[in-house]
Chains A and B, each alone.
Chain A
Amino acid sequence: MKFVWKYVVILALLAVAPFFVLPPFLTHIGVMIGIYTTLALSMNLMLRIGQISFAHGAFMGLGAYGSALMMMRLDLPFTVAFLAAALGVALLALLVGSLFLRIRGVYFVLLTFAFGEIIVLTFIEWVSLFGGSGGLPGVPPPSLFGYAIGSREGFYLLSLGLAAFAFALVRTIYGTELGAVITSLDEDEALTRSLGIDSRRYRLLTFCVSAFLAGMGGALYGHYLTLVTPEDYGFWVPVNLVMMNVIGGIAQPIGAVLGALLLVPLPELLRDAKQYQMLLYGIVLILFLLFMPDGMHGLFSKLKGHLARRELSR
């Protein structure tokens, strides 16, 4: 387990960063990177079973609305609301998953896209619960072990913790037999089933874990922004998450982290070139898709000499 130490050291360095090194605004970006790493990792799970879900924006939204509403209306403590919201999303994934996961390929993408849009439109239409297009302002700040986390550094640590948890979770999943099963599901489902694997259950399990992470990412995002509005959870969220994985490299969970590290700050860094922001974003993605199908991680491993185990050629 030598490499675990490598991660613990990096984590410690990152945790200390905002207090000494990072200027406040970069701490803000740090929080966003933490949240989007969690979300990118949740999409990495779906990419691994070859079923891109476009409902992940809505799952993120349900996490945000759930956690906020449970704190604001049922005044549950943050930890309870946060976890209950994420579990709620996972439960929803369980319910719809058994129906949806039978569908494969592009049809699954279109199905989850339609399902996600219905949820977002419900946020807009069901004004009494979700507050309509304006959403829910005044989302209370999280509080852990009794003291409220209001400061940006506090959020930074929370977000870093969430990202670390997500990375550890996905990493262990891929590390253990479960990883081998999930990967085989997409590589050759018929062979995997013929060896005795109940592929439906494993797909459902992956979908629920992925939805759980998306719910948590959404919940923290809502508390951080102190505002939950439907427009933040639409169709572009899963698109961005897929791009982060494509650019970072789908083969390994670290790819999702690299993708988040690169893409989250992009709009902020290009802030001054307002219109050119999206242009560069689009062109960067096109170039990556054409010339580096395995993303940056693929590039790094090529540079390190050993061929990336998996081409994106599946």
Chain B
Amino acid sequence: MNDVVLEVATLTKAFGGVNAISNLSFETRRGEILGVIGPNGSGKTTLFNVITGVLPASAGKVRFCGEAITGLSTDTISQRGLIRTFQSATVFKNETVYENIRRGSMFGCIGKPSWFFRPGVVANGKRTAKETVAELLEFSGLSDLATRIAGTLPYGKQKMLGVVIALARRPLQLLMDEPAAGLNPTETVAMGELVTQIRDKREIDVVLVEHDMKMVTAVCDRILALNYGKAIAIDIPERIVRHPEVIDAYLGVDHE
């Protein structure tokens, strides 16, 4: 059991009587990319917000690397290594690309204000930040844009930068909120490759909540399909695409 990274057990989230998520259980294993799909209103985003601590759970538990994180604040969860990216390109618009990534790395080390009393923290934070930024610029291919102001980048690049900032935090697991949203086809493919490389080259597990089936089936090892807050199926992409209930709920009826 030690290779379970994220474990969701009998999770429920009700909004005034309506169960956005009802009694959901699943888990991710080390080295795996898990996709989460479902039609609008299936509870994908609610699930995402409950796991990241934005919304409190009504019932059930969420465990990360064996420790319960339900009810913790978003920054504490982030401190544990479960880092999220945003659906819309979320970057420090007025700062340079370099500074954006540097902050990703630095904020990882300082977290709480108590770092004032540990002088060493900032010093080695700065050292690692310098290396991390250089390496990530190289990894993501954003080196030539390093001095540009983030807000002036094209949307696709901004979204890429958002992911790179999260990587600068040296996450154990990356929780991606519709990485393909707002991207054109070529950018979606590039994003897909980036996600695969994140898992392969940097051994970071990924959970991505996504609509774009082409990307999900191409990139994910397993896919969890949701509908009305309940899990219809969790399986490898090939089987999910042909799973009758998933097709009904999501892909439209065209049984062969």
Within 8 A of A (CB), among B84-124: 84, 86, 90-95, 99, 103-104, 106-108, 110-113, 115, 122
Number of chain B interface residues as a range: 20 to 34
Let me know if A226 is at the binding interface, CB within 8 A: no
- Compute how far the CA of A177 lies from the CA of B121 in the bound complex, rounded to whole angstroms: 11
- Contacting pair B103 A190 (CB below 8 A): no
- Report the minimal beta-carbon distance from A93 to chain B, rounded to whole angstroms: 15
Interface segment out of the listed A137-145, A152-160, A199-207: A199-207
- Contacting pair A176 B92 (CB below 8 A): no
Within 8 A of B (CB), among A173-204: 176-177, 180-181, 184, 187-188, 190-199, 201-202
- Compute how far the CA of A194 lies from the CA of B93 in the bound complex, rounded to whole angstroms: 16
- Contacting pair A192 B93 (CB below 8 A): no
Known: A177-B106, A180-B106, A202-B113. A195 touches B78 (CB 8 A): yes
Q: In the complex, which residues of chain B have a beta carbon less than 8 angstroms from the beta carbon of A198? A: 73, 75-76, 111-113
Partner of A196, one of B93, B95, B107: B107
Let me know if A310 is at the binding interface, CB within 8 A: yes
Let me know if B70 is at the binding interface, CB within 8 A: no
- Compute how far the CA of A201 lies from the CA of B79 in the bound complex, rounded to whole angstroms: 15
Q: In the complex, which residues of chain A have a beta carbon less than 8 angstroms from the beta carbon of B52? A: 194
Partner of B110, one of A177, A188, A205, A309: A177
Known: A181-B110, A190-B86, A201-B112. A195 touches B93 (CB 8 A): no
- Contacting pair A184 B92 (CB below 8 A): yes
Q: In the complex, which residues of chain A have a beta carbon less than 8 angstroms from the beta carbon of B91? A: 188, 191
- Contacting pair A176 B122 (CB below 8 A): yes
Partner of A193, one of B75, B99, B110, B165: B75
Q: In the complex, which residues of chain B have a beta carbon less than 8 angstroms from the beta carbon of A195? A: 78, 83, 103-104, 107-108, 165-166, 169
Q: In the complex, which residues of chain A have a beta carbon less than 8 angstroms from the beta carbon of B84? A: 194
For chain A, the count of residues having a C-beta within 8 Å of the partner chain is 24
- Compute how far the CA of A177 lies from the CA of B123 in the bound complex, rounded to whole angstroms: 11
- Report the minimal beta-carbon distance from B173 to chain A, rounded to whole angstroms: 13
Q: In the complex, which residues of chain A have a beta carbon less than 8 angstroms from the beta carbon of B74? A: 193-194
Nearest CB in chain A to that of B169: its residue: A195
- Compute how far the CA of A190 lies from the CA of B78 in the bound complex, rounded to whole angstroms: 12
Q: In the complex, which residues of chain A have a beta carbon less than 8 angstroms from the beta carbon of B94? A: 187, 309-311, 314
Q: In the complex, which residues of chain B have a beta carbon less than 8 angstroms from the beta carbon of A192? A: 107
Known: A177-B110, A184-B92. A193 touches B78 (CB 8 A): yes
Let me know if B244 is at the binding interface, CB within 8 A: no
- Report the minimal beta-carbon distance from B170 to chain A, rounded to whole angstroms: 10
- Contacting pair A191 B73 (CB below 8 A): no
Let me know if B60 is at the binding interface, CB within 8 A: no
Most chain A CB inside 10 Å of its own CB: which residue of B84, B106, B113:
B113
Q: In the complex, which residues of chain B have a beta carbon less than 8 angstroms from the beta carbon of A311? A: 94
Q: In the complex, which residues of chain B have a beta carbon less than 8 angstroms from the beta carbon of A176? A: 122
Let me know if B125 is at the binding interface, CB within 8 A: yes
- Compute how far the CA of A160 lies from the CA of B54 in the bound complex, rounded to whole angstroms: 46
Nearest CB in chain A to that of B112: its residue: A198
- Compute how far the CA of A192 lies from the CA of B78 in the bound complex, rounded to whole angstroms: 10
Known: A177-B106, A188-B92, A196-B107. A201 touches B113 (CB 8 A): yes
- Compute how far the CA of A305 lies from the CA of B110 in the bound complex, rounded to whole angstroms: 35
Nearest CB in chain B to that of A309: its residue: B94
Q: In the complex, which residues of chain B have a beta carbon less than 8 angstroms from the beta carbon of A191? A: 86, 90-92, 165
Nearest CB in chain B to that of A307: its residue: B149
- Report the minimal beta-carbon distance from A203 to chain B, rounded to whole angstroms: 10
Nearest CB in chain A to that of B83: its residue: A194
Partner of A190, one of B79, B90, B112: B90
Partner of B78, one of A196, A205, A310: A196
- Report the minimal beta-carbon distance from A43 to chain B, rounded to whole angstroms: 21
Known: A176-B122, A177-B122, A309-B94. A196 touches B108 (CB 8 A): yes
Q: In the complex, which residues of chain B have a beta carbon less than 8 angstroms from the beta carbon of A205? A: 113
- Compute how far the CA of A195 lies from the CA of B91 in the bound complex, rounded to whole angstroms: 11
Partner of B107, one of A181, A187, A310, A314: A181
- Contacting pair B106 A199 (CB below 8 A): no
- Contacting pair A188 B90 (CB below 8 A): yes
5 tightest A-B CB contacts, nearest first: A196-B78, A195-B107, A196-B79, A191-B90, A198-B75
- Name B residues whose Cβ lies closer than 8 Å to a Cβ of A: 52, 73-76, 78-79, 83-84, 86, 90-95, 99, 103-104, 106-108, 110-113, 115, 122, 125, 165-166, 169
**Sample of 13 further A-B pairs with CB below 8 A, known A194-B84, A196-B79:** A184-B103, A187-B94, A188-B91, A188-B92, A188-B93, A190-B86, A194-B75, A195-B169, A196-B78, A196-B107, A196-B169, A198-B111, A201-B113
- Name A residues whose Cβ lies closer than 8 Å to a Cβ of B: 176-177, 180-181, 184, 187-188, 190-199, 201-202, 205, 309-311, 314
16 residue pairs of the A-B complex, CB under 8 angstroms, read A177-B110, A177-B125, A184-B107, A187-B92, A188-B91, A191-B91, A191-B165, A192-B107, A193-B73, A193-B78, A194-B52, A194-B84, A194-B90, A194-B166, A198-B73, A205-B113
